[in-house]
Amino acid sequence: MAEVLVFHHGQGLTAGVRGFAERLRRAGHTVHAPDLYEGQVFDSLAEGAAYAESAGFDTITARGVAAAEGLPADLIYVGFSLGVLPAQKLAQTRPGAMGAVLLEACVPVSEFGAEWPQDVPVQIHGMDTDPFFAGEGDVDAARAVVGTAADAELFLYPGDRHLFTDSSLPSYDEQSATQVNHRVLGFLDRMR
């Protein structure tokens, strides 16, 4: 089974993110889900984003990188929205990365290196009219990854919700999230 490091989104390590990690565990995978917000969970994305901004996005990313220290090199990195920052950085820069799943965000590969590593498979998931994913350039960065990486998939779901994969939030979309979960589990099964 795969060993997975899951990074939460801007509202913190919510019940929905913990539930996602637990589904992966029930499928037989070893899953680590560190708290990058030091115990804080926010009721709104705006509050969480304000916290992340005050702490510093580099600090949040560094906390994610530190969470990987002491873990095996052959991890699969999963990031939800803001959690894509440490997930993508580690997938692009940490030797031994087995894969990455980027949920509801993707940054240009130039943030962390010249190109996506050809030996690191990646899945990217987002809603096609999500104002953050589609409206702020993440989908363009995702298409660039898919266009240059050896093993990359982009899945677009109909809708405009951000954090649609978190079952504990009002933005949750059960039908699309079920598809995401199925595709992520298939991806992890391939990585064994």
Name all domains of the chain by residue range, CATH numbers in brackets.
Answer: 3-190 (3.40.50.1820)
pLDDT 10s digits, 8-35: 999 999 999 999 999 999 999 999 999 9
Which pTM value belongs to this model?
Answer: 0.96
**Digits of tens for pLDDT over the chain (192 positions)?**
899 999 999 999 999 999 999 999 999 999 999 999 999 999 999 999 999 999 999 999 999 999 999 999 999 999 999 999 999 999 999 999 999 999 999 999 999 987 899 999 999 999 999 999 999 999 999 999 999 999 999 999 999 999 999 999 999 999 999 999 999 999 999 986
List pLDDT tens digits, range 146-168.
999 999 999 999 999 999 999 99
CA–CA dist 141, 145 (Å, integer): 6
